[in-house]
Amino acid sequence: MTNIFRDVRGLILAAIGDLVAHGVLPPGLDLSRVAVEPPRDPAHGDVATNAALVLAGIVKQNPMALAERIAPAIAARQLRSGDFHGGGLGVVAARPGFLNIRLPAAVWHAQLRALLRAGTGYGDTDIGAGARVNVEYVSANPTGPMHVGHGRGAVVGDALAALLAKAGFQVHREYYINDAGAQVDILARSLFLRYREALGEDVGTIPEGLYPGEYLIETGQALAARDGDKWLGASEVEWLGSVRDFAVAQMMALIRADLDRLGVRHDWFASERRLVEAGAIEECLAALDERGLIYTGILAPPKGKTPDDWEPRPQTLFRATRFGDDVDRPLKKSDGSWTYFAADIAYHRDKFRRGFANLIDVWGADHGGYVKRMQAAVRAVTDGAATLDVKICQLVNLFDRGKPVRMSKRAGTFVTLREVVDEVGKDVFRFMMLTRRNDQALDFDFAKVTEQSKENPVFYVQYAHARAASVMRHAAEVFAPEELSDQALAGAALDLLTDPAELALIRQLAQWPRIVEGAAEAHEPHRLAFYLQEVAAQFHMLWNKGRDEATLRFILASDPILTRARLALVRGVALVIASGLAVIGVTPVEEM
């Protein structure tokens, strides 16, 4: 665990502690808002802190004056502890009350050394402290192939899970199978038609309201192969259960195969039907009922817009308004069966009872209106002991050479996730899904994402990694393999890395642990993709400097000592990129 920013923050807090001990500052200060970060302007040093600005607000003192008292305290503290390689930090108070700190180059060299020793484990942190997190994602209905939107949720969820694991959480990845509602009955009826068709019957066009997709033809044949004609004369009540189970199993196999192709995995597939059959819903609602959170009432029509067929009707309702929702929510349909919401409450309660107090759900844009009620339900059902964060993934708009690819099930231009992944590859798809914040709509152009140019971020980052590998291949012609291992390079004369561009790159690499922590805390895996593009840019820049000035090239035949130091930097770049791509789920390439 090497995070220079965290180390400096520790130093600053210690220095403030010293001031408290000397009575300069009062005890019991809230220091949570003290931030240590790289300043935007390099002229402001290597790291900057707002400590004096934060404290000024608390103790009602002039921030600049405070900064000037804290600055020497930091320097004194550091000299006493001997940390940060002795050298002495330049601590300067600046304008409104910032403290700008310049770290000795040796600190950065030590960061690079630590990076090489940690390998792709660099950036691992323990901010999660082993806490258990449940991440639920995809959860596509088992009624057909997944579309690109599902793919986005799959990647966001999978990368978020990997990110949290890297940040020290104990992560559990779940998929909720909606195999109990009316949808799967429709699926069963649709399949039954294909089944009859497989047995030689002409079923004509698929009626409105059933799934017309051709993917069911094969499944119908499979059902016919398994059961023969045993259902032909039977009534629906007889065949429905068996056909439905078969259909769901087949659809889940299809979905799992697609996820597999994407490299997306889950630890647990939770079945709604199993929850229903185990009586989990009744049990859950009974618990809510005991607390007076369920009642029979009549909902008012949606404000400002009454549906044509609206009629007041008594319903079984959950008091969601007590927990921050806008209206109370129905739990029972008019036919007496549970709503999806009722089952979902039971499911989230089940997660909590299995030991998860940190819940994250990744949903599609069309479920945005569902967030409040689910969070309300989680609060109710766990007495506020669990938190639910919902990541809404906005739409993916498909283009080909700038022209929109219209998605229409009727027109037969429906593009499945499978088709897209087969076309562009899993790595490209995964990276692209993280080039936007999850709540921002994303344009995906088939032509652009496979293009080999810097306009294509996937390529750009991969190219940096491949270039680093290329340098190492050339180095292998000069050095013995044992001289080029990461452990060996960690022992190179890193203090020879003194060029501003080299130090800038090391600083960039040293940010990786901080990026991981920030992204994990915010539940925002896309930050990794953006950071990797910055690392790649820095590296390409340094590469080209070597083109202009031969003395800056990585491999210098005349100077093996300096060469090994630079190779250490090159490996550092490759390791950070590989480390980041691993979280995103993309394979770094050695050559392209």
Which CB sits closer to RNA, 257 or 298? 298
- For residue 362, which amino acid is it? V
- Tell me the closest approach of the beta carbon of residue 268 to RNA, in angstroms: 17
Instruction: Give every strand in the sheet of 396-400, ordered side by side.
Output: 403-404, 396-400, 442-445
**Phi, psi torsion values for 577, nearest 5 degrees:** -65, -45
Tokens of 92: 């300067």
Q: How far is the CB of 238 from RNA (least distance, A)?
A: 22
d(CA 468, CA 96): 42
Residue 74 Cβ vs RNA, minimum distance, rounded to whole Å: 14
Q: How many CB atoms lie within 10 A of CB 27?
A: 8
Please give the Cα distance from 113 to 509 (Å, whole number). 11
Q: How far is the CB of 228 from RNA (least distance, A)?
A: 31
Give the residue with the Cβ less far from RNA, 134 or 198: 134
At closest approach, how far in Å is the CB of 119 from RNA? Answer: 21
Cα–Cα distance, 575 to 564 (Å, whole number): 16
Q: How far is the CB of 264 from RNA (least distance, A)?
A: 19
Tokens 């990647």 belong to residue: 155
The residue among 43 and 225 lying less far from RNA, judged by its C-beta, is 43
**Shortest reach from residue 203's CB to RNA, in Å:** 24
Rg of the chain taking only CA atoms, in angstroms: 29
Q: Which is nearer to RNA, 406 or 474 (CB)?
A: 474
- Min dist. Cβ of residue 226 to RNA (A): 25
Minimum gap (Å) between residue 310 Cβ and RNA: 4
Shortest distance in whole angstroms from residue 457 CB to RNA: 8
Q: Closer to RNA at the Cβ: 18 or 37? A: 37
In whole angstroms, how close is the CB of 349 to RNA at the nearest point? 17
How many alpha carbons fall within 13 Å on the CB side of residue 299? 19
Q: Which is nearer to RNA, 100 or 508 (CB)?
A: 100
8-state DSSP, 145: -
**Quick one: residue 435, left, alpha or beta (phi over 0 = left, psi -120 to 50 = alpha)?**
alpha
Strand ranges (E), 85-145: 90-94, 98-102, 132-136
Whether 48 contacts 121, CB under 8 Å = no
Whichever of 39 and 117 has its CB closer to RNA, that residue is 39
- If the CB atoms of residues 229 and 236 are measured against RNA, the closer one turns out to be 236
Q: Calculate the alpha carbon distances from 523 to 142, 164, 391, 443, 496 in Å.
A: 27, 8, 8, 22, 38
Q: Rank residues 129 and 300 by Cβ distance to RNA and give the closer one.
A: 300
Inter-residue contact 365 to 375 (CB < 8 Å): no
User: Of 243 and 320, which has the nearer Cβ to RNA?
Assistant: 320
Q: Smallest distance, Å, CB 373 to RNA?
A: 8
Question: By C-alpha distance, which of 57, 54, 107, 56 is closest to 78?
Answer: 107
Q: Give 29 or 299: the residue with its C-beta nearer to RNA.
A: 299
- 3-class secondary-structure state, position 77: helix
Classify 241 as helix, strand or coil.
helix
3-state secondary structure of 297: strand
- H or E stretch including 346? helix 340-353
User: Would you say 38 or 224 has its CB closer to RNA?
Assistant: 38
For residues 510 and 122, what is the distance between their CA atoms, to the nearest angstrom? 9
Please state, in angstroms and as integers, the Cα–Cα distance from residue 206 to each residue in 213, 248, 250, following that order. Answer: 9, 19, 20
Q: How many CB atoms sit inside 10 A of residue 473's CB? A: 11
- Report residue 543 as tokens: 């590469």
Q: DSSP alpha helices (H): ranges in 476-559?
A: 481-484, 486-490, 500-510, 512-522, 526-548
